Amino acid sequence: MARAAAEQLRLAEVVQSWLGRPVLVLGDAMLDEWRFADSDRLCREAPAPVLTLRRRISAAGGAANTAVNIAALGGRSVLVAPVGADVAGDELHDCLDRAGVWDRTVSQPGRHTPVKRRMLAGDQILLREDSGDPDDPLSEDGVDRLLTALDCATRELQAAADGVAPTLVICDYGLGALPARVRAWLVAQRDRYATVALDAHDLADWRGLAPTVVTPSFAEATRLLARAGRGGGELQLEHPEVDAGDGPSELTVGAAPGGAGQRTGGPTGEPTPGEDRVAMTHDGLSVTGTGVTVNADAGAGVDRAVLAESRLAELRAHTGADVVAVTLDTDGAVVGGADGQPSRSHSTPVPASHAVGAGDAYLAAMTLALAADAPLSTAAHLAQLAATSTVTGTGTCVCRREDLLTALGQPVLGGNDRQVLVGTEGLDTLVAEHRRAGRSVVFTNGCFDVLHRGHVRYLEQARALGDLLVVAVNSDGSVRRLKGPDRPVNPVEDRTALLAALSCVDHVVVFEEDSPTALIEAIRPDVYVKGGDYPPEMVPEAPLVQRLGGQVRTLGYVPDRSTSAIIERIRAYGQEGSPEVVAGGPPARPDPDVDQVLDADRALGVTLPDRADDMTGSTAPPMTGQAP
């Protein structure tokens, strides 16, 4: 349990570390429109349902949804994309503004904003209408203005990030936003971007880019391998007759040509406009699409994950990417890097109407994690978690930072979307963000073993001394060294969770040492608070705090309120005939659950410590009265 909690906290630290990271998104932006209707009869003219429209929702789609996800996850997101000067374009601008995306889109008069309109009844998509011609190229003037916007946005992001090179995400869905001249510019300017993520229906168009990560679907990876293998090699190529594709970013279920059988495991790929449907044969070995059939002779019963895993090295070689993440829709993803150690993530199957845009959430989280220098396994885990946590309802998927932290079991303050539980490594960065916003920092520390009224009053008073309260909690090992082998009563996971639930506490961090001096040096608090009825100069940490420019305050105690007194009272209730042993403890019938705990303690020879200084948690001398 402790190990799992530590891992979740480590992942949450990565989410915290990418807060405010500059990311430029470039590519095919579109508008998703959802129309929800009721239907209770068929029309008289044809066997078709009669629909009554109940509500309509518009959302950013494609590259625009990737930008929205980056902003929702805590990044500083900028979108550069051609957008039509039309009603759909106006709605898309509104979606970007609401999401906090820096809108640097370029209006293209005479060109329509791509729109996907879905009509649903009973959570079932009945039809989809697409508008916006993918064969309508940008004019030369439009390309010039797009490149100017791209260059300006890059400079703007870099300036806003104090000279740090921004991250670039390219979303090429074949709708004409990224013609050859734009691709050539990006290849030539690659060094201006620290991390480059590429999501493209046709990866072959991006030779020479050397991206950090590519995220092809299984079908897109198959097409690339098929084209690279034309003329021989391991891939067997055929040219079956198949139907035309139905547009970008859509999953198509189909059977392999020639009646080889239909895959029953759900959608299998995302065809490029004008190319063929993608399907997988029933044996799991052959994939058809783009006018070719790819056959991986890996043995009977091989599924898509195994097939993708076996080709990761080839995909890295053909794309020039450091990392390849092959997404497998309902089957999760397979990710591989330079170390040759692939990782597999899994997802939960959901209705197709719940998964629209989940790939954008995956791409956004993967990019932010890699840009924050997270290990590849961590980036893959967070990306899959982001995609999975968004597919809870019908609509275009957006993963918010608080959703991701909640999925990691980390409390978040609802009013301002701040992470409460933080790690020691990310605390200084977090405090620096607050200082840049002009907030003063109050710091205190202690064991906080059995949270009681005295603790709450103490923390409320501490919070009133500044704009932000950081509470450092002694680890279980540290508490044992300070208090004795029978403490803590509550493990650190429980102690931190209770503190994080208090509205007066902004951040909680666990430290292993017996003294908080390392944390004090890291965050340089404006005010350091300790509990006790003694002058501030008697606090052992006072010289360090004052040398760093802070001040030390001591706060008095609530009389007759201490962790040790509470434990004494509980134990006294368990002793027959002596419920009044501890002052302030009213007569009560012993609780059988408490009796069982106390009996176990007696059997183990556990005794109570004499001191009641639960808020010490450092090298402070023992004082009389209540302490946390």
Task: Enter the tokens of residue 411.
Answer: 């409390």
- Burial of 80 by CB count in 10 Å (0-12 exposed, 13-18 middle, 19+ buried)? buried
Given the residues 103, 360, 403, 526, select the one marked as catalytic. 360
Give helix 563-573 / helix 592-603 axis angle, nearest 10°. Answer: 100
Strand 106-108 to 52-62 pairing: unpaired
Q: Can you tell me the distance from the alpha carbon of 627 to that of 449, in angstroms, rounded to the nearest whole number? A: 11
> Is 360 assigned a catalytic role?
yes
32 neighbors 58 (Cβ within 8 angstroms): yes
289 neighbors 271 (Cβ within 8 angstroms): yes
233 neighbors 328 (Cβ within 8 angstroms): no
Q: Which long-range contacts (CB under 8 A, 24 or more apart) does 414-421 make?
A: 417/74, 418/506, 418/507, 419/12, 419/15, 419/16, 419/507, 420/500, 420/505, 420/506, 420/507, 420/508, 421/9, 421/12, 421/496, 421/500, 421/507, 421/508, 421/509
Neighbouring-strand partners of residue 413: 418
25 neighbors 77 (Cβ within 8 angstroms): yes
The DSSP line for 178-222 is S-HHHHHHHHHTGGG-S-EEEEES-GGGGTT---SEE--BHHHHH
Q: Can you tell me the distance from the alpha carbon of 522 to that of 431, in angstroms, rounded to the nearest whole number? A: 9
Q: Can you tell me the distance from the alpha carbon of 196 to that of 213, in angstroms, rounded to the nearest whole number? A: 7
Rounded to the nearest 5 percent, the helix, strand and coil shares of the chain are: 35, 20, 45
Q: Can you tell me the distance from the alpha carbon of 66 to that of 57, in angstroms, rounded to the nearest whole number? A: 18
Task: Enter the tokens of residue 61.
Answer: 């789609």
Q: Can you tell me the distance from the alpha carbon of 184 to that of 594, in angstroms, rounded to the nearest whole number? A: 73
Q: Can you tell me the distance from the alpha carbon of 164 to that of 193, in angstroms, rounded to the nearest whole number? A: 9
Residue type (1 letter), 596: Q
- C-alpha separations of 215 from 130, 261, 334, 362 in Å: 24, 28, 10, 9
Residue type (1 letter), 606: V
Q: Can you tell me the distance from the alpha carbon of 514 to that of 423, in angstroms, rounded to the nearest whole number? A: 17
Quick one: which H or E segment has residue 223? helix 218-228
CA dihedral 279, 284, 286, 287 (to 10 degrees): 30
- φ/ψ (deg, to 5) at 472: -100, 130
Question: What's the alpha-carbon Rg for the chain, to the nearest Å?
Answer: 30
Q: Can you tell me the distance from the alpha carbon of 542 to that of 551, in angstroms, rounded to the nearest whole number? A: 8
Q: What residues are labeled active site?
A: 360
